[in-house]
Amino acid sequence: MRFRFVEEQRGTFPVDRLCRVMNVSPRGLRAFRSRPASRRQRMDMVVLAHIKEQSRLSLGSYGRPRMTEELKEVGIDVGHRRVGLNRAGFAGG
């Protein structure tokens, strides 16, 4: 979370200052940049892609419970909370 914040704000503030304020090392930031996405992050991207598609097909009318059921029907076993967290990051839903 801290490394992501530094990455997002690096155009606004100097990276060395952001690292000091967020209590992370520049070396750790470089490692973060080169680290591949975790299994959970990759799965979240798949879930989000399916949420976007189902939202498009439903014209944005599905809420979290119905979206969860739709995802289960296409073979993605997720719960209401995870769907809600992914939808929160999705501007269209």
Of residues 83 and 12, more confidence is placed in 12
Which residues neighbour 5 within 8 Å (Cβ) at sequence distance 6 or greater?
Answer: 18, 22
At 88 the pLDDT is 61
Cα 87–Cα 62–Cα 54 angle in degrees, nearest 5:
70
Distance between first and last Cα of the chain: 23
pLDDT in tens, 46-71: 888 888 888 888 888 888 888 889 88
Q: What is the mean pLDDT of residues 63-87?
A: 84
Mean pLDDT of the chain: 85
Q: Could you tell me the pTM of the whole model?
A: 0.58
- Please report, for the chain, how many H helices and E strands are present, in that order: 6, 0
Ranking 2-6, 9-13, 54-58 by mean pLDDT, the lowest is 54-58
pLDDT of residue 81: 83
